[in-house]
Amino acid sequence: MSKLLLYLKTDAFRKNLIAALVVILILFLGIYFGLKAYTKHGVAIEVPQVKGMQIDQAIQALENADLEYFVDSIYQMDMKPGLVIEQDPEPKSHVKTGRTIYLTIITQTPPDVAFPSIVDKTLIEATAILRNQSLKVGDTVYVSDIARDVVLDVKFAGQPLQAGRMVPKGSKVTLVLGNGRGSSEVELPNLIGLSLDEARFALTGVGLNLGSISYNGAVVDSLSAKVVSQLPDTTAGFVGIGSTVDLTLSN
């Protein structure tokens, strides 16, 4: 113990102690200033406003500011593809150089959605269901059926579309609807101006029969006479198949 105390009083110990303290101080300062330089302590830049830009413009602005970026995308109808709609951190935030800025853009390719079941739904119901699935009614086609404004079939790109099939979000479909008249009714043709033979041919073509024939005034040539009136007239719209139509002809 006495030798240790004597050693602590020597010049050699004091020199070694001072040297050790200097080394520790140098290491501390080196670590301190090294970390400060590595983390760029106290150095911050302002995040530029890129929301509302096209993605190529936004990337250029971030690269000019020495910032990194990460891009995510979503699909929204009626919005321009490539548009930046969100950014994080917000514009004018202060961050360190090299910070990653997260961007959300509008993608050009719509995602697929499962087509819903709308057959046997009314037009109003079907339209609401399609709207909820971000789909649209492009056209409506009416066919003879006793169910009025009820969906009988659905077509997409001219082909029948079954429930559950994947279609692009925002697609337009054609609805085949019943006209409420049934298959036993046909539209009454307009026969005015036709000859008797032409009128007979037109009626036969839609499943109707020629009724009584009368002439207005003196008819010199019955072959050249034209239909001047018909009963029922075209305001009747639809009549049952097999119905008769009376004609009045005149030269």
Quick: pLDDT tens for 178-229.
887 766 778 889 999 999 999 999 998 888 899 999 888 877 777 888 999 9
The predicted pLDDT at position 60 comes to 93
The predicted pLDDT at position 20 comes to 77
Residues 6+ apart with CB under 8 A from 235: none
Rounded Cα gap, residues 47 and 97, in angstroms: 10
Instruction: State in words which class domain 112-179 has.
Output: alpha beta
pTM more than 0.75: no
The total of other beta-carbon atoms located within 10 Å of residue 28's CB is: 10
**For residues 47-68, average pLDDT:** 92
- Six token digits for residue 108: 């050009």
pLDDT at 174 over 80: yes
More confident residue, 223 or 52: 52
CATH fold match for the domains 45-106 and 186-250: yes
The predicted pLDDT at position 177 comes to 92
Contact 125, 118 (CB under 8 A): yes
Find out if CATH 3.30.10.20 is the number for domain 186-250: yes
pLDDT tens column, 95-129 = 888 889 999 999 878 889 999 999 999 999 999 99
pLDDT at 130 over 70: yes
pLDDT at 173 over 70: yes
Contact 107, 73 (CB under 8 A): yes
Rounded Cα gap, residues 205 and 114, in angstroms: 43
pLDDT at 1 over 60: no
- Six token digits for residue 184: 């036993």
Rounded Cα gap, residues 180 and 178, in angstroms: 6
The predicted pLDDT at position 156 comes to 92
Instruction: State in words which class domain 45-106 has.
Output: alpha beta
The predicted pLDDT at position 164 comes to 93
- Enumerate the β-bridge partners of residue 99: none
> Three-state SS for 139?
strand
Kindly list the domain boundaries of the chain, sorted by start residue: 2-39, 45-106, 112-179, 186-250
Contact 109, 83 (CB under 8 A): no
The predicted pLDDT at position 5 comes to 62
169 band by pLDDT with thresholds 50, 70 and 90: confident
**φ and ψ of 45, to 5 deg:** -125, 160
| Torsion sign over Cα 129, 135, 136, 139 | negative
| Mean pLDDT score of the chain | 85
